[in-house]
Structure 1
Amino acid sequence: MLQPPPIVLSFAANDPSGGAGLQADLLAIASLGCHPLSVMTAITVQDTAGVEDVMPLDPEWVADQARAVLEDMPVQVFKIGLLGSVEIIATIAEVISDYPQIPLVMDPVLTSGRGDELASEEMIDAMRELLLPQVTVLTPNSLEARHLAQLENDSHVTKLDLSLCAQRLLDLGCEYVLITGTHENTAQVTNTLFAADGTARSDHWERLPNTYHGSGCTLASAIAAFLANGLSITESVKEAQDYTWHTLQAGFRPGMGQYIPNRLYWVRDDEDAGDDTDMSTAQENAD
């Protein structure tokens, strides 16, 4: 009997466009050799331009979905995306607290790429209190990092130093914080991984010309998949950035909004090469 692939469980919302949410998670996780499990937190009405509406599921349904698969299969890593409500946050926090040995990668989805609000201040408070203390790797972009780290007496929140934001998020209980720099006014995109003892790594990437629907989902899911495959946290963060950058470089625009990351870009590489090379070889060729 063949050894099953590593298993990653994603808590996220449905995205009918296939660009973000559960669909993005499933594609990225499977692309990197893991078996994805999905627990739906909400149903969204959205396309590649933005999110029109969100309907959170009953928290009991969220808990039941998770308990059913967790009692059936061994999960190596949890990944969290859009949550939907304070009650769902509390429910997921309770479920994952029963599995403290399983690493947790969290993409704190606060807004859509267009700026549609996807998390109220009450939800953000619940994330800080209930989820962040259980997070292994938090993956906010710079805007999300500043919002999550904001204190009542902060002025000019948009100018908060990102290393200060990271320290505040680490103080809330996160083991690592990876702050991505896509929204910063820099020639290259700089992504920095912070740990309790300082900067664990900093990576610089060519800034691509387009905007993308689901890039954050792809990055967090890729980190989860590499962790599930046995890499260390710093190695997982490095490899996940490389994978994500290539999905963006090979991105496509199927609708009238943003581009979508091509999470199976390496399949086209194989076809173009005209051979049966495996994914790792295809990625080496892409590099």
Structure 2
Amino acid sequence: MKKYQYVTVLTIAGSDSGGGAGIQADLKTFASLGCFGTSAITAITVQNTVGVKDIHSIPVNIVAGQIRAVMDDLKPSAIKIGMVHSAELASAIANTLKDYRDVPVILDPVMVATSGDRLIQKETVEVLKKELFPLATLVTPNLDEAEILSGMEVRSPETMEEAAHLILQTGCNAVLVKGGHLKRDTLQDIYLDRMGTATTISSAYIDTNNTHGTGCTLSSAIASFVARGLPLAEAVLEAGKYVHQAIAEGSDVKTGEGNGPLNHFFDPQSQIKI
């Protein structure tokens, strides 16, 4: 009998009790794109579509233990990192992942929720930049996060590119600055890698409040496509197409009283081109 293996991906992120972002969105995305999802939970949030009410941290040694348990047994082909809310946790994750340097890391520096709630301690930012970013294959900040990371105002495609160059100096391999918060007819993301030439990725704006978990979903989709064997730049493009369609398919669905989630299971198999 022929044996085979699932394409496995690990998410290191917080749990969203509302199901639209964090670990829940990551696992939905992995499954939707044909990957076997595993997880290391960093925190439990008291959260719904309206906002974040509280955050309970998971002990750092337990987070590190979850990572090693998955990496040593299931051997993921890619890692997605989401909410890392404390300096101690950032250091622990970095120290753990140094033993698995051959596995691509997609880091979504989750700092501000769609609702506007701050999700990360201020002192954690510098530790992230110093210890985790150099391990990252790709970092995917939105505009608010790009401002925090670059120390400059980021409100146009031109300043997005400038911020990307500054963030790249932290030692990460590539940066994707997401422009969704500009809410123009045509949205633009800026992709920059070590080759030095920025690439603009455009998509049509979809008028909907159902965008909760968009950043989590995008980084997880990129990790999925990388795990399935696509080069990074191509994985970014394919993940963008998947997220855009997931937003479109969930744009008119009523889920909660605030910012609703994407439709992760819209039949995305057409997105997989490998």
- TM-score of the superposed pair, with normalisation by structure 1: 0.89
Q: How does 1:89-108 map to 2 (within 5 A)?
A: 89-108=90-109
Which shows bigger deviation, 222-231 or 125-134? 125-134
Matches within 5 A, 1:211-230: 211=209, 212-230=211-229
Deviation at 1:103, TM superposition (A): 0.5
Q: Write out aligned runs for 1:1-287 (5 A).
A: 1-150=2-151, 161-184=159-182, 186-211=184-209, 212-251=211-250, 252-266=253-267, 279-280=269-270, 283=271
Deviation of residue 185 (structure 1)? 5.2
Q: Which runs of 4+ in 1 moved over 3 A?
A: 156-160
Contact 2:108 2:139 in 1 (8 A): yes
Aligned residues: 267
Letter in 2 for 1:235: E
State the alpha-carbon separation in 1 of the partners of residues 143 and 118 from structure 2. Answer: 16
- Tell me which amino acid in the other structure corresponds to 1:15: D
How far is the alpha carbon of 1:121 from its aligned partner?
Answer: 1.5
- For the 8 Å contact 1:6–1:35, the answer to whether it is kept is yes
* Offset from partner CA, 1:167-197 (integer Å, 9 cap, x none): 1111111111011111125321101111123
Give the distance between the partners of 2:129 and 2:201, measured in 1 at CA: 26
Q: Is the 8 A contact 1:82 1:109 kept in 2?
A: yes
1:158 and 1:195 map into 2 onto residues whose CA distance is 21
Report the CA distance between 1:2 and its aligned residue.
3.6
**Structure 2: distance between partners of 1:198 and 1:67:** 34
Contact 2:164 2:190 in 1 (8 A): no
Distance 1:230 1:266 in 2: 20
Distance 1:51 1:253 in 2: 19
Cα distance, 1:5 vs structure 2:
1.7
Query: In angstroms, what is the RMSD of aligned CA positions?
Result: 1.7
Q: Is the Cα–Cα contact under 8 Å of residues 146 and 162 in structure 1 kept in the other structure? A: no
Residue ranges of structure 1 left out of the alignment (5+ in a row): 268-278
Partner Cα separation in structure 2 for residue 180 and residue 199 of structure 1: 17
The answer to whether the 8 Å contact 2:143/2:155 transfers is: no
Identity %, equivalent residues: 37
Counterpart Cα distance in 2 of 1:141 and 1:2: 41
What CA deviation, in whole Å up to 9, does each residue of 1:30-60 have, x standing for no partner?
Answer: 1111111100000100001111111111100
Judge conservation of contact 1:149–1:165 (CA < 8 Å) in 2.
Answer: yes
Match of 1:272 in 2: none
Shift of 1:230: 0.3
In the TM superposition, what is the alpha-carbon distance from 1:200 to its structure 2 partner? 4.8
1:186 maps to amino acid: R
Q: How much has 1:99 moved relative to structure 2?
A: 0.8
Does the 8 A contact of 1:63 with 1:91 survive in 2?
A: yes
Instruction: Using the TM superposition, give the Cα deviation of residue 83 of structure 1 relative to its aligned residue in structure 2, in angstroms.
Output: 1.5
Change (3 A) 1:158 1:237: closer
Structure 2 Cα separation of the partners of residues 192 and 23 of structure 1: 27
Rg larger in 1 or in 2? 1
